[in-house]
Structure 1
């Protein structure tokens, strides 16, 4: 009897071999993703989203992911806290829309709400906004305390022609120019500019490229910019409604959080022609330590921060004037970028505080009197309006009445107001000081003057001002090369995830940008063969274009 395999045995073996190879390869990939580690440097939304994508789409174990954050809480600029005296503080919140933010909602449709069991954060937010429909009736208020008719944009034909020229210019042509390089002084007195500027926090000296990107990305908001009908809000502040649920989901998956821990250094070597992180130095509550990083491990770095060097004041004291020299918040990016052009250039973003700062304030009321008066004046119940901007104020001050309670656990007899001003280095109209010199009491005096309210409405109120020297730094004029790609061509295991990376066509100063950058970086580093949601092109919609043209001639 012959021991030689016959033709059919050989054929069968050849047919099985590819299947065996596939099984072995799948096991190898699975083992790889279960053994590689990931380190997220910074605890903002970008890092949290990156960790979620590694687990949900990359098959990594949560226990293999560590997030380092120098603050005692996560969330970055999406913060919110109750202070020791019972007052509340918010640095700010990002504008939300359900007509865009494809990556953001794609993530949060899989994150369970911690407030409403059985539904996702996405579903919770949609339900909340169906119940609390936004339609501002007092978007602008003039110096005579009259509500401005914002049905008209106040454009002249010259304004429209200049506007169109900027809108259609290529990014290469716009280059590092400012908005003022393309629009005449008269444009900055139109209703449109006051509304667009304060909705998105633009200044006339900011990047023309970023302004153009916003006009295209949010062209569907142009026809309704006076009512803010397209702006959506979370049920509570964005820390309670977004950060806490995401953190809870990551904790359930086993992600490690090391809070109150500063990343002191990132050591890199060139391996096979690629810049490779080999270790990370951190300083935490238990002292300093060196974290070894293998070449196949991942490092997600939040380069730069728009809330870096923030400081809060009190009713008696203005916020301290601190800078990146005090916080060291930009040092690591500056070090990594030196001599590495594709790691970006931080200098255009962090070298001119007068052009990149503004100041916000949070007011905690112990009675509803102020809310009652502003609701009556504006015609909007709390949570149904939007920013009320005092267009003639020297500080260009705006305030918003959120739906109450705005914090989980907020007492029924407490009411929270948030506001901000874009020109904090100008002298007030009712207080003979610049805003950055003012304490909380003086800010309330200025606000009372613009509303013509008696000071008694602020009895027992606590105003907490917050200075943010780099809050609009990502809007500063810059070249395309000043922002690194999420994964630079020269990098092996290092990704940049922040508002300071380059994502074509999308807009900074949004939660969408953080999440899209995170998804892009994770998919590239882990070779995930899955499509990233495309940016919705509202500027290609015939209806949106027609509505925008009609609005521009109103």
Structure 2
């Protein structure tokens, strides 16, 4: 590549931001030659966080972080200056913060009696152990598009381990057995401490404020162009010397059509699909609107490319064809009264920011909540608290509210939560609960076959790459910041011919001590 190389990144999620940073830092591409095209008015993709104390804060979700692996993420953020701690990188400030606020959950599972469930034992029978071992050692090619239930008996899904593992990572029994196996290996260190969540690390604020904003700031300082409210509707492409090449981007910007010509030497990166596509927010008085991919354009470009070149561009229909199996609902609560946080600290034994998820295992919705360290937003006043929760079964009738969560307003969600905790209703006086419906939030967990996910750089392509949760990266796990960053780093290094190794996945599952710890835990 030369100094005139231009790069166009479609979508402003963490994958595109990371790719732009790697091009500047390691590829020596001028920031002024990089353009990030985003259909919405905000960047960050699924790593969002917005609002204010008057109208309420909202987070669709948050990705789990660790500092024991996430090799590519921290390789990037060691280079990105903190916005909050001058002289430190984002990585350094995150390490320092977690030294002060260590995870040690004391109320990981709560039952219908409002009693803490003993979780020192995983609750396995010998059959559970044997089946789990068989699944963890199976060959991915032989597993194909099988589901978790194809490998594990019904009793397994009533174990303490399943309730903790499923709610930590958002797995459902009908999800991909291959993905579940990858998680067992990638997070083997967490297997032996899943009840305390000791391996989970947090950023100082929500991930938008702590990860997206510093990276965006650095990119802008380096000249990167952010072109907002620009929807790329179509990519035209051709074959040259047997290679697939993108030639034009057809955009809709401000109601006007524009065509961006892709010249020789230019590059195009596409975030194919989004786990938060077609998401919608409700309010204290209304449930979120039910949307699907036809209401947005999040899957359109990938579907077009896959229709043109099904041999190399993957199969999006494997992931977006069954909303009932890929969605759940979350909610964000803004409080101006410390009583709820005080009661939760007394009940759980954890100060906010040290306990992680509290899961109500007998909840029909399988509801969990988490109280982060406060403030959770940069602009959050000292007398305001924010917490987040989600439910894996939003189509089921509640225990205390006689309707499915998907039809509930924020007021009704708080009523259901109070029923499980048995707190007085006064703790939620003037509370603002914003529900969120996400129809494709676990779509990347759907059962898949080899080839359903394209490679970051599909074979036979010259100037094009995918970066998202829907590409194939061997041995790594989706639904993580790491997956998007790793895919971006792989794509950039390969397209630019960068002579620097992408940080390898740390093989914790090959370390004898980690294996012994996991074995001991399985037999408790």
TM-score range, shorter chain: over 0.9
The alpha carbon displacement at 1:495 in A equals 0.1
CA deviation vs aligned residue, 1:176-199 (integer Å, no higher than 9, x gap):
000000000000000000000000
**Aligned twin of 2:165:** 196
**Aligned twin of 1:392:** 362
Task: Indicate whether 1:59 and 2:28 are aligned.
Answer: yes
Task: Indicate whether 1:163 and 2:121 are aligned.
Answer: no
Query: In structure 1, the residue corresponding to 2:461 is in which secondary structure?
Result: coil
User: What is the CA–CA distance in structure 2 between the aligned matches of 1:223 and 1:171, rounded to whole Å?
Assistant: 24
**Residue 504 of structure 1, aligned match among 449, 468, 474:** 474
**Aligned twin of 1:278:** 247
Query: In structure 1, the residue corresponding to 2:378 is in which secondary structure?
Result: coil
The alpha carbon displacement at 1:362 in A equals 0.1
The alpha carbon displacement at 1:84 in A equals 8.5
8 Å CA contact 1:480, 1:502 repeated in 2: no
CA deviation vs aligned residue, 1:364-415 (integer Å, no higher than 9, x gap):
0011110000110000000011000000000000000000000001011100
**Aligned twin of 1:151:** 120
- Would the alpha carbon gap of residues 92 and 485 (structure 1) be closer, same or farther in structure 2, given more than 3 Å must change? same
Query: In structure 1, the residue corresponding to 2:312 is in which secondary structure?
Result: helix
**Residue 453 of structure 1, aligned match among 408, 423, 429:** 423
User: What is the CA–CA distance in structure 2 between the aligned matches of 1:438 and 1:86, rounded to whole Å?
Assistant: 19
CA deviation vs aligned residue, 1:137-161 (integer Å, no higher than 9, x gap):
0000000000011000000001101
Task: Indicate whether 1:244 and 2:209 are aligned.
Answer: no
- For the pair shown, the structure with the greater C-alpha radius of gyration is 1
**Residue 508 of structure 2, aligned match among 538, 548, 554:** 538
8 Å CA contact 2:182, 2:476 repeated in 1: yes
8 Å CA contact 2:52, 2:379 repeated in 1: no
8 Å CA contact 1:506, 1:535 repeated in 2: yes
TM-score (normalised: structure 1)? 0.94
CA deviation vs aligned residue, 1:27-50 (integer Å, no higher than 9, x gap):
xx5xx1x20100000000000000
Cα RMSD, aligned residues only = 0.9
**Aligned twin of 1:227:** 196
8 Å CA contact 1:276, 1:492 repeated in 2: yes
**Aligned twin of 2:517:** 547
User: What is the CA–CA distance in structure 1 between the aligned matches of 2:264 and 2:441, rounded to whole Å?
Assistant: 34
TM-score (normalised: structure 2)? 0.99
The alpha carbon displacement at 1:260 in A equals 1.7
**Residue 121 of structure 1, aligned match among 90, 102, 105:** 90
Structure 2 gap ranges (5+): none
User: What is the CA–CA distance in structure 1 between the aligned matches of 2:513 and 2:56, rounded to whole Å?
Assistant: 46
8 Å CA contact 1:277, 1:295 repeated in 2: no
The alpha carbon displacement at 1:295 in A equals 3.0
User: What is the CA–CA distance in structure 2 between the aligned matches of 1:92 and 1:261, rounded to whole Å?
Assistant: 25
**Aligned twin of 2:14:** 45
**Residue 184 of structure 1, aligned match among 153, 169, 172:** 153
Structure 1 gap ranges (5+): 1-28
After superposition, residues 113-512 of structure 1 pair within 5 angstroms as 113-285=82-254, 287-340=256-309, 341-512=311-482
8 Å CA contact 1:313, 1:464 repeated in 2: yes
User: What is the CA–CA distance in structure 2 between the aligned matches of 1:287 and 1:36, rounded to whole Å?
Assistant: 26
